Structure 1
């Protein structure tokens, strides 16, 4: 995610993607916690938990926790969106899982919008760390 600023635009003096990676990691952790908190709901309201539904949801939550640690990798956003697709596919377990997936899909769409905005600001030299002081 380290986009290079165009010619004539100064490079940011600080890494603008550092905070963005933190937001993505935090979102994955919150999503994993929410999936784990949905287990009792599926167990009580959804007619009981089966071994495969527990394995699917806990495995997905573990993947999300582990994914929070790899946000520096160039494939991190693809991984994040793949886990989101797997969560949406978890709607076959219970409607509550699908609702969680839809809510977090909106969050990830907003994150994609923010990423595009940061890239545009870097290209235009509009970040505070790109401003040249005129002293």
Structure 2
């Protein structure tokens, strides 16, 4: 029961509301890793070719994105995701096409941050399906 000095208490959701969100984040990372791996032959064909360090950078970035899918339940996962995004945008040094794709995915991650904030607000207000009687 709520009083003026104490807000209403909602029961916690019956199912984990973050499970779907973590899945979307993992799926986004997989899609981004595919783009990075497909960027290697594209960069090799465009311009003057690709150096060994550029192949190593893009391969390491793609592998890190795949590995990051497994830690989405951790509290620091979104920070890791955004750090990988910065590394993707920094790929502009390798080829502008990589940087542009980084900017495209930055828009996706900005929307995911908005969704995370919306989910948190819905949990606080008790509006999730599993929180209702």
With the shorter chain as reference, the TM-score category is over 0.9
2:95 alignment counterpart: 94
Quote the offset at 1:120 in angstroms. Answer: 0.3
Q: Does 1:129 align with 2:130?
A: yes
CA distance in 1, matches of 2:38, 2:95: 13
Partner of 1:110: 111
Give the Cα separation in 2 of the matches to 1:78 and 1:63. 13
**C-alpha separation between the residues in 1 aligned to 2:104 and 2:84?**
14
Matches within 5 A, 1:32-71: 32-71=33-72
CA distance in 2, matches of 1:54, 1:19: 33
- The two structures, once aligned, show a CA RMSD in angstroms of 1.0
Alignment size in residue pairs: 127
TM-score (norm 1): 0.91
Structure 2 stretches of 5 or more lacking a match?
1-6
Deviation, 1:46, is 2.7
Runs of 4 or more, structure 1, over 6 Å off, are none
Q: Aligned partners of 1:103, 1:89: CA distance in 2, in Å?
A: 13
Aligned equivalents of 1:119 and 1:46: distance in 2? 45
> For 1:12, what is the secondary structure of its paired residue?
coil
Q: Which residue of 2 aligns with 1:16?
A: 17
- In the other structure, the counterpart of 1:27 is 28
Residue 47 of structure 1: SS of its match in structure 2? coil
CA distance in 1 between partners of 2:56 and 2:123 (Å): 42
